[in-house]
Chain A
């Protein structure tokens, strides 16, 4: 399906007229801005892009972008997106959500999406908290964070390392951005969308309401020590282990065949029916 667009689209052309429900200062605004910038940079026709999400503050993003959107259920965005991509390989499919959505309730899908390596881009807005349900610990919350009534002593278990899991599960593109630098996120997104295969982009995206201390993140984020991504998983694993979780940039990129059915018909239903005749 081709587009009739001739005029060049600007980032604002990818913004919908719906006002985000997010709190003032929420990191997710920067991701919204970065998505529109990246789409404009790539000049992708709006009707050929689908943005798929689950449930959470971050997962509200499809309605705010002027492309086809699917706002599904908690944790299942990757599943819906993979079904869509398998059936409609012509579309650019971007998946977005939070750390709770992607690493807790949707953790199994994260692992299998990484290993399936379909040509998708997955953005996780990681604020180390469940924003939408008002501030409970998520898998990426530090073990001693004791501000939630559900875990008054802190979750008490080591936090989940998204990059390590992505690498171990077979993701072919791993990068990290920070909401304080929307242009940086947009640049990573462009690379992620262009990468043939499963691209995982973790964005450190502060929750100003339930994790106000994350306002300090801008002081501690820093680029990865190595500027260039590695294609060597052993090297990538070493970088992840040496990392404090606050490095930004591209970590790992490799080319592995993507999983994608070719959807080419060679016969008709009537021909199959012949096989049942006695």
Chain B
């Protein structure tokens, strides 16, 4: 378990101080812009950070919330509560009450001119600091409330004012000098204004900040795709996956590839199969409803051994469900949605930066094994933005094994030891063949002979089951007799919960599974060695990973399950509480 020790160092065990702040406001008040600028200023000050956002039900221009967590080291989940809430106004802000938990120590900054604090928020009993946001902005020619708020936040959070002024300059330069000046004045006024209250916690200064990236999970998935070599994408728009496509469309073009907006997901999956048959690594991005439509096509990819990757950004299901909110409920369909015996890869990204690593790895594995891969991320990763360590590169694999020209007799589905057969790319002399979703013999000729079916099924299983996936199958941290097993975006909250429990004296290890299928069963068994209590943590209603692991007989009979559906994020405290019960 060399990987085991390497991974352990990824996280420092001591819980570190973090600050969580939320900004809310009605449509047009500039909440999201302010959030992005704050995150950039946080970056400029040398910190790490995470920003999630939430919006009301309106298609356009409704109220929104930006939720940030700032830390001197990387953060992979939102905190249990917020130290600071600044309301640009209160219109419909009650809708965010559940998403933005406050405590008695929290500070609410709001403008008395904006009216009463909504009861759903007032009930938290937080301290209130009234500030004349509107009046302060009005006093400045071209002044805006959100910019004044940024100045206030900057001061309260202990960020250097220069960092914020620089971000204003950067972000607004294209709007002209006047706008920049006005906004910088707002920031200064907010920064210098009298503040009767202050936050309890403070972030330590960072001396030599390491290189960091500012990236969203969906951008990170797009980057992973092109890092893996993807040069063709076909897709149909769907929330919350569209940003993967928006990032890929212009960038694929620059890289000599292309993105085709398909008429539906039935088309997009078959389009990428066609492109990959042509030798060009191909991917599509979608969410649950789209994945459901793609299942027949995915079976074709498996049977014809045409490598393709689906980046599935999960949202609340079933059906149209909760399109804008996160949930980890597509594991079942990803694992079991295929008809027939169809071995394939299912991976999950463990954090925002890991969307790059895992997507690249999926493409590399898919190409090396001529296999179908589904990468599960979700809305909470995809549509959130973070300051992260630059993601590392995935193992390159062997690349697609192609057939040399005139490889006589050319057998497309040759029964090889490792199950991978050289693929002739159209254009290659002599090796003409027909790829087929009908069961076939080695040559590719349709066959319903029992022997051919058995051999091809064996071969397609062998190539996945026999591959050495190395140590990246999971991120394993901590040690002790108690273990949390988790996957995907839940990893962040689970790992933080384990660090807290460990700091409090009970060692807890976490196995965050990246390669869910085929799960390296032996390595999983080893990772669980010495564990007495297991708690499976995931954000869905049915305990999808829990049942899968039971089906593989990997869990002790008394393993616990914390399965909580979306839309609210899993928070470390609820995992700590549940784990404490288990213990």
Q: Show the binding face of A for B, using Cβ within 8 Å.
A: 1, 3-4, 16, 18, 46-48, 50-52, 62-63, 66-73, 75-76, 79-88, 90-91, 108-109, 111-112, 261, 263-269, 272-273, 276-278
Query: Which of B122-130, B191-199, B273-281 lies at the binding interface?
Result: B273-281
- Contact among A81, A86, A267 with B232 in the assembled complex (CB-CB below 8 Å): A86
- B211 is an interface residue with CB less than 8 A from chain A: yes
Complex contact B271–A80 (CB within 8 A): yes
CA distance A84 to B270 in the complex (A): 10
Nearest-CB distance from B296 to chain A (Å)?
6
Nearest B residue (CB) for A53:
B434
Determine chain A's interface SS by DSSP, over half rule: mixed
Nearest A residue (CB) for B260:
A86
Residues in B with CB closer than 8 Å to A76 are: 266-267, 270, 297, 300
Residue-wise interface mask of B (265-299) relative to A, using a CB-CB cutoff of 8 A (1 in contact, 0 not): 01111111111111110100000000000001101
Residues in A with CB closer than 8 Å to B299 are: 73
Nearest A residue (CB) for B431:
A47
Nearest A residue (CB) for B284:
A83
CA distance A3 to B429 in the complex (A): 7
Nearest B residue (CB) for A18:
B445
Determine chain B's interface SS by DSSP, over half rule: mixed
Complex contact B278–A50 (CB within 8 A): yes
Complex contact A88–B426 (CB within 8 A): yes
Residues in B with CB closer than 8 Å to A69 are: 432-435
Complex contact A87–B427 (CB within 8 A): no
Residues in A with CB closer than 8 Å to B275 are: 83-84, 86-88
Complex contact B445–A63 (CB within 8 A): yes
Complex contact B429–A47 (CB within 8 A): yes
**Which residues 230-259 in B have Cβ within 8 Å of A in the complex?**
231-232, 234, 251, 253-258
CA distance A108 to B267 in the complex (A): 9
Residues in A with CB closer than 8 Å to B232 are: 83, 86-87
Residue contacts A-B, CB under 8 angstroms, 30 given = A1-B428, A3-B429, A47-B426, A66-B432, A70-B277, A70-B304, A70-B435, A71-B437, A72-B273, A72-B274, A73-B270, A73-B296, A73-B300, A79-B266, A79-B269, A79-B274, A80-B273, A81-B274, A83-B273, A84-B278, A86-B232, A87-B276, A91-B427, A108-B263, A112-B263, A261-B257, A261-B260, A268-B255, A269-B226, A278-B214
Nearest-CB distance from A262 to chain B (Å)?
8
Nearest-CB distance from B238 to chain A (Å)?
17
Nearest B residue (CB) for A263:
B256
Nearest B residue (CB) for A260:
B258
Nearest-CB distance from A112 to chain B (Å)?
4
- Counting contact residues on chain B (CB < 8 A from A), the size range is 35 or more
Residues in A with CB closer than 8 Å to B266 are: 75-76, 79, 108-109
Complex contact A278–B387 (CB within 8 A): yes
Nearest B residue (CB) for A64:
B434
CA distance A69 to B429 in the complex (A): 14
Complex contact A83–B427 (CB within 8 A): no
- Contact among B226, B262, B304, B430 with A47 in the assembled complex (CB-CB below 8 Å): B430
Residue-wise interface mask of B (205-229) relative to A, using a CB-CB cutoff of 8 A (1 in contact, 0 not): 0000001111100010001001100
Nearest-CB distance from A68 to chain B (Å)?
4
Residue-wise interface mask of B (422-446) relative to A, using a CB-CB cutoff of 8 A (1 in contact, 0 not): 0010111111111111100000111
CA distance A32 to B389 in the complex (A): 58
Residues in B with CB closer than 8 Å to A261 are: 253, 257-258, 260
CA distance A50 to B215 in the complex (A): 40
Residues in B with CB closer than 8 Å to A267 are: 254-255
Not counting A47-B427, A71-B435, A83-B275, a sample of 10 additional A-B residue pairs whose C-beta atoms are within 8 angstroms of each other reads A4-B405, A73-B437, A75-B266, A80-B277, A82-B271, A83-B260, A83-B271, A84-B278, A278-B211, A278-B214
